[in-house]
Each structure stands twice: as C-alpha cells, then as structure tokens.
C-alpha cells in the first residue's frame, strides 16, 4: 500500500493529537491542515500547508489527500462539516453525541454514497472502541446488557465533548467537565443484576466554568443543566472558577472507562466480560484511534466501497499495518 496522505480538518486538541499520532504511523503522511482559522494555526505550526477549510475543492486539489480526519467539535462543527467534506474526499470523524448518531449516520451516508466516498463516523474510544466492545459482549453473552462507565478514579475523567459543549454557551470563556462513574451501579452490573439504568444512575457531571466578567452566571447554569443529551439527564454540578484556578488545578486530559457485562452461559453459570481503557491524554488516544480508522477508510475506498461506516462495519485487520500472514502467525 502506498503512503496514505492525510489532511487534518480542524485544529484543536484532537487535531494536535492526530499530528502527533501520524509521527508514529510511518505508512501515513500529513498532507496539510485545513481550518476555519488558518492564521491561528499558522502561529502554532510551520512547514505544513494550512488552508481555509471552506475552500474544499481547492484544498483537495492542492493537497491531494486520500482521507481527511475531521477534528471539529461534535456539537456544532461536525454536523455541518462532515456531510460537506465527504462530497470531495474520504473522511473519518469522532462525532460523539450518542443519541444523535442514527440521524448523523443517515445524513453522512446520503452524502458519501452520492459522491462515492467512504465516511467513517463516530469513532474514538466512545463512541468507537467501546461501541464494538458492547456489541461483542452482548453477542457472546446473549441476553446480557453491556454498560459503559467513565471516570472511575477519584477525580473523574475529563470529557472533551462535554467541555466543548460548555464552551459554546454565550458568556463562557473556558470550561472543563469531569465525568464521575457511580460505583454502586458498577457493582450492580458485576453482580449480574442487569439493571435498567437511566443515564443519571450511572454518572454524575461536574463542570468548572470560567465566565466572562459581565456574564449572568444563573443563566449559564440553567443553560448547562438543561442542555438536552449532554447534561439534562444527569446530576450536574456547576462550579465557577477563575481562569488561573482552571489552569492550575485542572490541567491535562486524563480519562478512563470500563465496558462491563454480566450474563450466563449454559443453564446458569455466571459469566462476565470487562474491557478497560486508561488514557493519560484523551485527545491523543482519540487521535490514535482516528488514524487507524483513516487507514481502514482508505482500504475500504480502494475496494470501491462507499457511504458511511462505523467501527462495527470494519474488519479489525483493516486497522492494522500488519499483513494477513503476520496477523495469522503472531496475533491470533
Ligand atoms: N468518540 C470519542 O471517543 C471522542 C473522544 C474525544 C473527543 N471526541 C470529539 O472530538 C471533538 C473535538 O475535541 P477537541 O478537544 O479537539 O475540541 P477543540 O479543541 O475545542 O477543537 C474543536 C475545533 O475548534 C476549533 N478551535 C480549536 N481551538 C481553537 C481556538 N483556540 N480558537 C478558535 N477555534 C479553535 C478548531 O476548528 P478550526 O481549526 O476549524 O477553527 C477545532 O477543530 C469533541 O467535540 C468530541 O466530540 C470524541
């Protein structure tokens, strides 16, 4: 397979992670970055072409990408950008608003099928790897439910999608959202109870928000706790902090999570499946997963496939740089 040319579309935390990840994937090369704010990106990056994201036909012709890794935010960016960009080039994205994935899939599938491109959507660690683990657990233990828990440690885990959603609120200058798993609920699953949880039974959300000096904090709080999908279903605590406090106490991007399922085999032997990830850097981990999916997207495209795909539709060997012979010999 020839070297895969990758464009990074959108340059924030995940975009930076993709650049770092490409350094560790010698079968890929960074063809360029496209952004809505190229001047901002050029201040941080040199020796890489940086073009305006909206000029899609121009950057596709100039940079000749095999695939674009879309690193925009899930709340406002990807719902507009993906269906537009996949009209011209294969794409991969990490859209993470779980409840909207069916509609998002339909919209992107329509655009990518019409253009003959491959668009791998909603991948990362969750949705993404955890989605696959949920499906595997449920398939191997029929009748079981697979549950995802996040933020297992004392400080919880930083959710980038929820932090991104907070930063879209008027009057919010910066923000971080830590997810905390409710451990009593994990125990119920491990005990084989297969409980019917509401989202709020499984996690709490703690927000640290830097508000503009003239902002109405009560209004911001109401907007946060009532935000559909992101915060409304959870017990959500909003703490207003200074920019300095946010920087000092809440740095880095740690996150972790667990997929856990309990069921039975045969006539009642208890069985459990667990899969755990721990990330020192959530955006770098997400980026590594996106890059492996970019490889898979190009392979699917080279087979003449088109339309939208999720991790569930892709054979795991397509993610790997290893040959079929190597996989059979060393990894089975
Ligand atoms: N599926 C998963 O497991 C998973 C895990 C983690 C994250 N995610 C998703 O990844 C998305 C992106 O996360 P992120 O942390 O990279 O978001 P982010 O840093 O806020 O970046 C999002 C976009 O905002 C723009 N941007 C970034 N910094 C900016 C700045 N200083 N000034 C102006 N614009 C700026 C960039 O677009 P332009 O370059 O076009 O301006 C960038 O692509 C999240 O919304 C989340 O949904 C998914």
- CATH code of residue 67: 3.40.50.720
Q: Give yes or no: residues 137 and 258 share one domain.
A: yes
pLDDT for residue 1 is more than 80: no
Q: Distance (Å, rounded) from C-alpha 7 to C-alpha 66?
A: 8
Measured in Å, residue 42 CA sits from the centre of ligand 1 at 17
Last residue of a domain, one of 246, 265, 281: 281
Q: Give yes or no: residues 208 and 242 share one domain.
A: yes
Query: What integer is the mean pLDDT of 165-172?
Result: 96
Question: Of all protein residues, whose CA lies closest to atom 15 belonging to ligand 1?
Answer: 13
pTM of the predicted model as reported, rounded to 2 decimal places: 0.90
pLDDT reported for residue 245 = 96
Q: Distance (Å, rounded) from C-alpha 226 to C-alpha 230?
A: 9
Summarised one tens digit per residue, pLDDT across range 67-104 is 999 999 998 999 999 999 999 999 999 999 889 999 99
Residue-level length of the chain: 332
Regarding the beta carbon of 87 and ligand 1, being less than 6 Å apart is answered no
Summarised one tens digit per residue, pLDDT across range 246-293 is 999 888 889 999 999 999 999 999 999 999 999 999 999 999 999 999
Regarding the beta carbon of 126 and ligand 1, being less than 6 Å apart is answered yes
Summarised one tens digit per residue, pLDDT across range 17-50 is 999 999 999 999 999 999 999 999 999 999 999 9
- Give the residue carrying structure tokens 């970019």: 294
Summarised one tens digit per residue, pLDDT across range 169-186 is 999 999 999 999 999 999
Q: Distance (Å, rounded) from C-alpha 295 to C-alpha 137?
A: 26
Measured in Å, residue 78 CA sits from the centre of ligand 1 at 10
Summarised one tens digit per residue, pLDDT across range 96-136 is 988 999 999 999 999 999 999 999 999 999 999 999 999 99
Measured in Å, residue 162 CA sits from the centre of ligand 1 at 11
Residue 70 sits at φ, ψ, to 5 deg, of -90, 120
Q: Distance (Å, rounded) from C-alpha 139 to C-alpha 246?
A: 43
The parent domain of residue 178 ranges over 129-281
- Give the residue carrying structure tokens 């208890």: 270
Q: Give yes or no: residues 46 and 80 share one domain.
A: yes
């Amino acid at each position: 397979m020839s070297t895969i040319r990758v464009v990074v579309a959108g340059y924030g935390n995940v975009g930076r992670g993709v650049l770092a990840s490409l350094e560790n994937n010698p079968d890929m090369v960074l063809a360029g970055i496209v952004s809505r704010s190229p001047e901002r990106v050029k201040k941080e990056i040199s020796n890489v072409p940086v073009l305006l994201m909206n000029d899609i036909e121009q950057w596709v012709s100039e940079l000749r990408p095999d695939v674009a890794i879309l690193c925009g935010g899930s709340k406002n960016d990807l719902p507009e950008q993906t269906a537009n960009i996949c009209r011209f080039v294969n794409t991969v994205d990490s859209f993470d608003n779980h409840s909207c994935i069916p509609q998002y899939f339909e919209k992107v599938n329509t655009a990518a099928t019409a253009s003959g491109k491959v668009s791998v959507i909603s991948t990362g660690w969750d949705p993404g790897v955890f989605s696959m683990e949920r499906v595997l657990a449920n398939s191997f233990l029929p009748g079981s439910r697979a549950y995802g828990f996040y933020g297992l440690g004392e400080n919880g885990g930083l959710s980038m999608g929820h932090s991104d959603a907070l930063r879209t609120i008027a009057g919010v200058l910066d923000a971080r959202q830590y997810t905390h798993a409710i451990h009593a609920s994990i125990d119920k699953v491990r005990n084989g109870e297969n409980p019917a949880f509401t989202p709020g039974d499984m996690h709490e959300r703690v927000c640290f928000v830097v508000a503009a000096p003239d902002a109405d904090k009560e209004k911001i709080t109401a907007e946060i706790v009532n935000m559909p999908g992101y915060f409304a279903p959870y017990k959500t605590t909003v703490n207003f902090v200074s920019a300095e406090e946010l920087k000092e106490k809440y740095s880095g991007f740690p996150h972790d999570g667990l997929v856990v399922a309990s069921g039975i085999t045969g006539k009642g032997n208890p069985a459990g499946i667990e899969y755990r990830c721990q990330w020192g850097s959530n955006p770098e981990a997400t980026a590594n997963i996106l890059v492996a999916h970019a490889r898979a997207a190009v392979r699917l495209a080279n087979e003449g496939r088109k339309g939208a795909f999720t991790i569930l539709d892709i054979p795991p060997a397509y993610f790997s740089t290893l040959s079929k012979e190597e996989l059979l010999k060393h990894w089975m």
